[in-house]
Structure 1
Amino acid sequence: MKIRNAAALGALLASLGASTGLIAKTDCETCTQVDSGAVKGHQDGEVLSFKGIPYAAAPTGELRFRPPQAVQPWSGVLDAAKFRSTCPQVQDVLEEYPYPGRVVKLKDGQEHEVYESEDCLHLNVWTPKIDNAKRPIMVFIPGGAFIVGNGSSDFYNGKKLASHDVVVVTLNYRVGLFGFMELGGVDKRYAGSGNNGLRDQIAAIEWVKRNAASFGGDPDNITIFGESAGGASVNALLSIKSPEKLFKRAIAQSGHSNMIHTKEFAVSSGQEIVKIGGYGSIDEVLKATPLELLETQEAAFREAAIGDLLFAPFIDGTTIVGEPHELIKSGHAKAIDLMAGATQNELNYWSLYDSKLRNPFTDETDAGPATPPIPDELRAEIEKKQSISLDGKYAKLLGESNHSVLRQAQNDDFGLIQPLRQLADNQHGNNANTYLYRFAWKVPTKYLPEGSVDLGSVHALELPFMFGTMDLGWMPGGEKVGAESRGVDLALSKHMMAAWTNFARSGNPNGPGVPEWKPYDNKSHNTMVWNEQSKTVADPDSERRQIWQDVVFGSLF
C-alpha cells in the first residue's frame, strides 16, 4: 500500500495509535526524545519511568536468528506507561511476568503458559529527572538460565534504586533457541546466531549510550550488572573486544563464565536441536511458529543430559573474543571496575521447584533422580591431590553429618561461590577497584512455615534487597518478613542500594550509610558479608576456599 501524501500518512498513524502505544505529540514535562522518536514517561514513586521502549527491530520473519537491527523511527509520542511483551518462552513458576501467557497443552501432556511474541526487544528506564545532570547509568541484565526471564517485571523494578540519583535500565533479550541456538553448523549464513541474545544486550547498552542524555544520564559512566544468567552475561561482556568502549563498570551477581559454552559445543548442539525438531533446512526453521520452536526446545531439554544449561553465549572468537577466564586474568578488562559475589546457599534455590523442598542436586525429587553438578573426575582429582575426602572435610568444617547438606555446600562452592571469588582473583591485579561480596541473610527461623526446610540464603535472594522492592513472597516465610517491614531488613536493603549506586558513581561502593567495604586482593580475600550485621570479613570460609583454590572455573561445555 502506498501513502500518497503526508496528510494520509498522518491519518494512518493516528488510526494505529491505540494499538501501537503512540499518542498525539504534545508538549509535556515527562516527554523526551530518543534517536527513534519521542517517548512519554510517567511518575513512578520519586522518579520517572519509561517502560517498553524498543531498542532494536522486532526479530521476526527474515530477522529471526539474525543480529539485532535498528528500530524504525516512529511519529508522534510513544506512551511508555507500561511493560510490553516477554520474549518467547515457556513460563517458569518462579519467574514474575508482567502479563499472563497463553495456556496450551504441550507434547509432554501438561498445560503450560507460553509467551510467543518475538516483538520483545524492549527496555525500561527509571530516572530521577530529565535534565543535564549526567548521572551514572546502571543497566541490569536479568537471569533465567538463558531460557526464561525478562527485564519487564516488577521483580526488577528500578524506581527505588534510581532514587539514589542514578539512571536504572532493565532490558529484555532473546532467550532459549531464539537467542542462543548456533545455526552456523547448519547454514554458514547464520554463523554466530548462538550469540544473538548477547548481541541483543550489546545493542541495548549501545542504545543507552546513544540516548543517555535524554534521561539525565552520563554516556561515559555506564555500569552493567546482572544476576544468574545475567551475571554470566557480565562475564561474557567483559570478554568482548574493547569492553571499556561500551561500559565503565561491571557487577557480576551469582553468575560466572563457567556457564559460557565452547564453539564446538554450540555448533554440535545447534545441529542436534534442528534434528530433534525435524527441520530439513533453515527455511523450515524460519517458517516454524514460535510455539513449534518452543516445542522443539522442550524436546531438546528432555534429551539433553545437561538440561537447563543447554543454552548460553559461546566463545565464537568474534563477539566473545576468547575464553573469559583467561582473558580477564590477562588484563583484557583492566579498565573495568568490578564487583562480584554470590549467596551463601546458592543451589538451594532449585529446592523451590519441589513439592517437599528437596534438593535436585543431592536427592531424588519430583523431577527425578539427583543430578550432582560436580563431575566425578574432578572430585577424584581433588581428593587425590589433597589427600582428603570432600565429604569428610566438609563434615569437619560444617560440624554436620547430613550427606545432603554436605554435598550441597560443596555444590554451592563449585557452582558459584568459588568461581565468583576466582573472578575477583583474576581482576584485582589488573584493577584495584575490585570488590567481592557474600549475601548471607536468610528468612529467620520463626517465620518459616511449620515443618518447612530452612533453605538459607538462596540464589537470587539478594535482588529484593538490592533493588529495594523487598519482594520476598517467593521464599517460604518471606511473605511474613515483608509484612512486618522489619527495620533490620530495611536497613540492609538501604545499605546495599547505597553500595551498588556508589560503585556505579565512582568505582568504590563505600560512602555514607555503607559499612566499610575493603577492596579484594588474593592475600586478604576481603569479602563484604551482607546480613543483619554486615561487615567486611577477611577470607570467610577460608578452608573451603583453599580446597578449590587451584581449580580453574572455565567453560563447562
Structure 2
Amino acid sequence: METRGAKHGWRRRELIGATAGLGAIGALPGLARAAGGDPVVDAPGGRYRGMREAGLSVFRGIRYGQDTRSRRFQAPLAPQPNRDVHDATEFAASCPQTGDRYARQSEDCLFLNIWTPGADSRAKRPVMLYIHGGAYSSGSVIDPLNYGDKLSAHGDAVVVTVNHRLNALGYLYLARLDPHFADSGNVGQLDLILALKWVRDNIAAFGGDPHRILVFGQSGGGAKIATMMGMPAAKGLFQRAATMSGQQVTASGPLHASERTRSYLDAVGVSESDLSPLLAMPVERLIDGLGAVDPILGGHVYFGPVLDMKWLTRHPFWPDANPQSNAIPMILGNTHDETRAFIPPDSKRVRGLTWENLPARMAPELRIDILPEWVVAQYRGHFPQMSPTDVFYAATTAGRSWRGQIIEADRRAEAGAPTWVYQLDFQSPIEPNRGAPHMLDIPLVFGTLDAPGSITGTGEGARRVSRQMMDAFLACARTGAPNHAGLARWQGYTLPNRETMIFDVNSKLSDDPRRWQRELFARVPYIQPGT
C-alpha cells in the first residue's frame, strides 16, 4: 500500500524568503547553509536539509525509526547512523489505514516533522510535540489542521508532529499466542516513545530545549499521551502534557484483546496456531481485516494499548493517577458538544427524533449501561427548554465523552498533581448545528483557522479564542503553567471546586460547570470504551 499523490502538501513547496539572512544563518551553531539558502541542521542523529518558509526553518519527513515492513508487530528500532545529508522537504508516508484520505501510505511510516523559528542550538525554545487523533486506528499529522507553522511563529517555539503505527500494525495483541511477538499489543506506543527519544537527543540542534517538552494530542492522540504517562519506558521523556478530548482511564485487558485478535485472525484467514502468514501477506489484506466484528462491542474490531504486563503494567488512571507522572503539569480539555462530530445532525439516528423514540436511539450512543428512559426524563425536568435533539447530544456527550476526563482530573486532584481543565464552548459559526464539536479545538490551538476542514471561521471571535488557547498551551510548554496576560487567571483544578476554564468569545473560569450532568452519570460505573 505505497502510493503517491499530490495531496496536503506532498510536493516540495515554493521557497519563501530563501535568501534572507544567510550570513546570520551560516553562523548559527548546528546550522549549515545549503545551496539556495535551504537550512541544513547537523544533529547527533544525522544531517537534515529543510526549507525556509515564511521566516521558519521547516523539516518534513525526518526518519526516527527504521522501516517496519520487515519487523511487523515488533518494537521499533532507531535508524542506523548516517552522516549523509537527508532531504527533509516533503512529508513521508502515513500509516496504512482504511479509506484514501491520505494519498501516500506505507508501513515505513516512522517519521516526524519540525517547524522552528531558527535552528540555533543556543536558543532553548520550548518544544511542543503533537500526536494525532483518529482513535488508535487512523489519522495522520500531514493534515493541514496539524501544520505547526502558525503555532511556531506565534509562540517562538519548536513544533514537532509525529506519525506512527496504527490499528493492527500498531496494536494487534499476539503475545499470548506466540511469545515471539511479546511487544505486539503496544508497538504503536513504542513508536511514540522512540520518537520522543529522538527529540530528546536531537531537538537542541533545531533550537529546542530537551528539558521543556510538552506532548499534546487530540482524541486518540490524547489517549496515547495518557497511556504513556503510565508506561515506565516513557518516564522522563516529556515534562508537560496536554490532552484534547482524549483520555485513557484503563487499557485494553489482555483477555479481551486476545478475543479481538482471534476475530481479526479469522477475518484475514490466519490460524492462531501459526501466525507466520501475517508477516508475509500484503499490507492491504491486513487493512481489509480491520472490518472484523468486535466480539466485545460489536462494530469494527477495536485496537488500543494492552495491559500486557511488560510495557504497560498497570492502568493509566485506575485505581488512581499513576504516580510516575503526577509531577508533570497537565492540561485536560473537552468540547461542549463532542458527539455532534461523531453523529451528524442529518444522520438516521438524529433525523426525526421525538420524545418517544429518543431513548431507543440514544441508548447505544451513551456507551454505558444506564436506563435511557430515566436519563431522558431527568434531562427534560432539568432543562425544559431542550428539544429531543438537544437532549440526545447533551446526554451522549456527558455520558460518553466527558467522563474519562472528569475521572482523570479528579484522580490527579486527589494526588495533588498540577492540573488545569478546560471546556471549549465556542460555537462554530460555519456549521452552527454542530455547536462546539469534537476536533474544534485543533485549529484553535494550532492557529490553522483557515485550513481545509476547519469550521471555526476566521472572524474576530475565532481569532480571539485561538490566541487565548495558543498562548495557554505555549505558556504551559514554556513555564509549566497555562496562565498568560491575555486570559483570566486560570486556577488549577482542585476538589471539590473543579475549576474549569470556559474558552469562548468571553472566556472565564467556572467552578464545576458540568456538576448536574457529572452527578447524573456518576450513578453508574464508567468503563473505558474498548477495554
Give the TM-score band, short-chain normalised. Answer: 0.7 to 0.9
1:127 aligned to which of 107, 116, 135: 116
**1:66-123 CA-partner distances (Å, limit 9, x unpaired):** 1111212334311211211111112266xxx4xx25xxxxxxxxxxxxx3x1111100
**1:177-231 CA-partner distances (Å, limit 9, x unpaired):** 1111111133121123011111111111111111121111111221111111111
Following the alignment from structure 1 to structure 2, what is the Cα–Cα distance between the partners of residues 56 and 550? 45
Write the mapping of 1:91-130 to structure 2, written as runs, cut at 5 A. 91=99, 97=102, 100=103, 115=105, 117-130=106-119
Q: Does 1:206 align with 2:178?
A: no
1:58 aligned to which of 51, 59, 67: 67
Shift of the 408–529 alpha-carbon distance from structure 1 to 2, 3 Å rule, reads same
Verify the 8 A CA contact 2:327 2:418 in the aligned structure 1: no
Verify the 8 A CA contact 1:65 1:196 in the aligned structure 2: yes
Shift of the 436–361 alpha-carbon distance from structure 1 to 2, 3 Å rule, reads farther
Shift of the 182–361 alpha-carbon distance from structure 1 to 2, 3 Å rule, reads farther
Instruction: Return 5+ residue gaps in structure 2 as ranges.
Output: 1-10, 13-30, 355-360
Shift of the 361–325 alpha-carbon distance from structure 1 to 2, 3 Å rule, reads farther
Shift of the 395–430 alpha-carbon distance from structure 1 to 2, 3 Å rule, reads same
1:139 is paired with a residue of what secondary structure? strand
Counterpart amino acid of residue 54 in structure 2 = G
**Residue number in structure 2 paired with 1:153:** 143
**1:219-244 CA-partner distances (Å, limit 9, x unpaired):** 12211111111111111011112754
Following the alignment from structure 1 to structure 2, what is the Cα–Cα distance between the partners of residues 497 and 518? 17
Following the alignment from structure 2 to structure 1, what is the Cα–Cα distance between the partners of residues 467 and 85? 36
Q: Give the superposition deviation at 1:403.
A: 3.4
Q: Give the superposition deviation at 1:514.
A: 2.5
- Give the number of aligned pairs: 490
1:389 is paired with a residue of what secondary structure? helix
Q: Does 1:33 align with 2:42?
A: yes
Following the alignment from structure 2 to structure 1, what is the Cα–Cα distance between the partners of residues 202 and 33? 20
1:232 aligned to which of 199, 205, 223: 223
Shift of the 50–552 alpha-carbon distance from structure 1 to 2, 3 Å rule, reads farther
Write the mapping of 1:409-420 to structure 2, written as runs, cut at 5 A. 409-420=394-405
Shift of the 361–305 alpha-carbon distance from structure 1 to 2, 3 Å rule, reads farther
Instruction: Return 5+ residue gaps in structure 1 as ranges.
Output: 1-17, 20-24, 102-114
Q: Give the superposition deviation at 1:149.
A: 0.5
Shift of the 210–431 alpha-carbon distance from structure 1 to 2, 3 Å rule, reads farther
Following the alignment from structure 2 to structure 1, what is the Cα–Cα distance between the partners of residues 185 and 506? 43
Verify the 8 A CA contact 2:250 2:315 in the aligned structure 1: no
Verify the 8 A CA contact 1:349 1:458 in the aligned structure 2: yes
**Residue number in structure 1 paired with 2:26:** none
Q: Which moved more, 1:527-536 or 1:264-273?
A: 264-273
Following the alignment from structure 1 to structure 2, what is the Cα–Cα distance between the partners of residues 41 and 57? 20
Verify the 8 A CA contact 1:68 1:200 in the aligned structure 2: yes
Following the alignment from structure 1 to structure 2, what is the Cα–Cα distance between the partners of residues 551 and 139? 36
Verify the 8 A CA contact 2:32 2:39 in the aligned structure 1: no
RMSD (Å) for aligned C-alpha atoms: 2.9
Counterpart amino acid of residue 52 in structure 2 = Q
1:307 is paired with a residue of what secondary structure? coil
Q: Does 1:373 align with 2:344?
A: no
Q: Give the TM-score normalised by the residue count of structure 2.
A: 0.85
Q: Give the superposition deviation at 1:358.
A: 4.9
Shift of the 361–262 alpha-carbon distance from structure 1 to 2, 3 Å rule, reads farther
Write the mapping of 1:45-444 to structure 2, written as runs, cut at 5 A. 45-61=54-70, 63-91=71-99, 97=102, 100=103, 115=105, 117-131=106-120, 132-163=122-153, 164-241=155-232, 243-258=234-249, 260-280=251-271, 281-298=274-291, 300-301=292-293, 305-307=297-299, 310-326=302-318, 328-329=320-321, 331-352=323-344, 356-359=346-349, 372-374=364-366, 378-380=369-371, 389-400=374-385, 402-444=387-429
1:512 is paired with a residue of what secondary structure? coil
Shift of the 397–471 alpha-carbon distance from structure 1 to 2, 3 Å rule, reads farther
**Residue number in structure 2 paired with 1:463:** 442
Counterpart amino acid of residue 152 in structure 2 = A
Shift of the 141–324 alpha-carbon distance from structure 1 to 2, 3 Å rule, reads same
Percent sequence identity is: 28
Verify the 8 A CA contact 1:362 1:370 in the aligned structure 2: no
Shift of the 152–401 alpha-carbon distance from structure 1 to 2, 3 Å rule, reads closer
Q: Give the superposition deviation at 1:47.
A: 2.0
Q: Give the superposition deviation at 1:417.
A: 1.6
Q: Give the superposition deviation at 1:399.
A: 2.5
Q: Give the superposition deviation at 1:273.
A: 1.0
Q: Does 1:497 align with 2:470?
A: yes
2:494 aligned to which of 502, 513, 521: 521
Q: Give the TM-score normalised by the residue count of structure 1.
A: 0.81
Q: Give the superposition deviation at 1:50.
A: 0.8
Following the alignment from structure 1 to structure 2, what is the Cα–Cα distance between the partners of residues 214 and 245? 20
**1:402-449 CA-partner distances (Å, limit 9, x unpaired):** 3343233122112222321221111123345210000111123xx55x
**1:497-554 CA-partner distances (Å, limit 9, x unpaired):** 0000101111211112223211111221111111111111111132112223465545
**1:316-349 CA-partner distances (Å, limit 9, x unpaired):** 1222220122264363421111110110110111
